Amino acid sequence: MIDIKFLRENPDAVKENIKKKFQDSKLPLVDEVIKLDAESRAVKQQADDLRANRNKISKQIGALMHQGKKEEAMAIREQVTKQADLLEELEQKEAELSSKVTEIMMTIPQIIDPSVPIGKDDSENVEIERYGEPFVPDFEVPYHTDIMENLNGIDFDSARKVAGNGFYYLMGDIARLHSAVISYARDFMIDRGFTYCVPPFMIRSNVVTGVMSFAEMDSMMYKIEGEDLYLIGTSEHSMIGKFIDTINPEDTLPQTLTSYSPCFRKEKGAHGIEERGVYRIHQFEKQEMIVVCKPEESKMWFDKLWQNTVDLFRSMDIPVRTLECCSGDLADLKVRSLDVEAWSPRQKKYFEVGSCSNLGDAQARRLKIRVSGKGGKYFAHTLNNTVVAPPRMLIAFLENNLNEDGSVRIPVALRPYMGGKEVIGK
């Protein structure tokens, strides 16, 4: 969420930013919120003046009563009663205006970083760099679920009976591989200095609206009926929520955390064949990383975070590339975002396996995550990145390590987590 003071003083810059994100329908909101904010501040000033005057009169009443001038005191008290009614009206109006301002401000997109390429959607994202040589074997690579089924590693039919579409049972060595990847990713991040955390898997609505836009909330989150609780779509949400309404001394920053959690997503809409199987599902597990830091350090941490994912995938012999997300592909709270994509030998192209985001002070402003330093208090910056999400990771892993006979190689780094196995066979 943008600072209302910045919007007041720089409306043209905010409008230009909206245009860069191709959200022209939101342009009138800038003038509307400026008008509502002016009304809100005027009402607040009127209420403050009334409170000050009431306090002054109250002192006069006390003095008159002390002097035995009861009739004069009672006459003045009638003024206080009338002013109390007016003050109540003003306070109610102030609350209504403030609520409207906040509601609009939460829909106006964050100011994007100057380095972000301008484009309408993900088709205009810009490739930055490739790591590892993409390889296509001289034998046909089956669809990922066919590879798993050949290894007796997945059961969709039973899951469909138990939970419906979008769920599965992982079995045997494929299930073990799934857990091995999570454990390896956990230790990988701990070795890089991150503190390991298992967070709550449900969060309250004030945390949800603090970490994402309303549109994202509606398309992703499952609500617990009858309670103010939502199942998390990613542990980033509860991890950032850990710092809600806190004042953090500068010398305690940065906070660098890596977390494990199951994740739950609605995944609304129809998806093509390449997004079926285990690519888009309602329940999966993930290792995440988040950083809460000083504003001047967020660019440095952004580069460190995405590099962690690249290094993890390369340690498992999977070629990857990085893509800078264009303006139209950025969620409203993001200042900058970079996707890590893994190579698919079957499709002969890359596909997304992780996303690194710098949200500036947007989440911190909504959740009141502040820093206390020598110069006073200010809002922290928050960042997040996927370490690994095994469903998509398994697709890349199986395709890139598949042998012609249908068995799957286990890279050296992962073997200790697989009981020393070098190959998964039928």
Instruction: Give the model confidence (pLDDT) of 327-368 as tens digits.
Output: 999 999 999 999 999 999 999 999 999 999 999 999 999 999
Please write the tens of the pLDDT for every residue from 130-148.
Answer: 999 999 999 999 999 999 9
Domain with CATH 3.30.930.10 in the chain: 122-424
Q: State the pLDDT at residue 81.
A: 67
The answer on pLDDT for 117 being more than 70 is yes
Domain with CATH 1.10.287.40 in the chain: 4-105
Structure pTM?
Answer: 0.88
Residue where the block lists tokens 């998390």: 232
CA distance 74 to 397: 83
Q: State the pLDDT at residue 217.
A: 76
What's phi and psi for 182, nearest 5 deg? -65, -45
- Residues of the chain with pLDDT > 90, as a percent, come to 80
**Banded pLDDT at 49 (limits 50, 70, 90):** confident
CA distance 62 to 245: 40
User: Beta strand pairing status for 369-373 and 246-249?
Assistant: parallel
The answer on pLDDT for 379 being more than 90 is yes
What residues pair up with 130 in beta bridges, in sequence order? Answer: 321
Q: State the pLDDT at residue 271.
A: 45
Average pLDDT in the chain: 91
Q: Which superfamily, per CATH, for 122-424?
A: Bira Bifunctional Protein; Domain 2 (3.30.930.10)
Please write the tens of the pLDDT for every residue from 269-324.
Answer: 544 444 467 777 899 999 999 999 999 999 999 999 999 999 999 999 999 999 99
- Residues of the chain with pLDDT > 70, as a percent, come to 91
Low-confidence winner among 20-29, 141-150, 206-215 (lowest mean pLDDT): 206-215
Q: What is the CATH number of domain 4-105?
A: 1.10.287.40
- The token pair that represents 26 in the structure block: 């939101």
Q: State the pLDDT at residue 270.
A: 46
Contact 115, 334 (CB under 8 A): no
CA distance 262 to 63: 66
The answer on pLDDT for 406 being more than 90 is yes
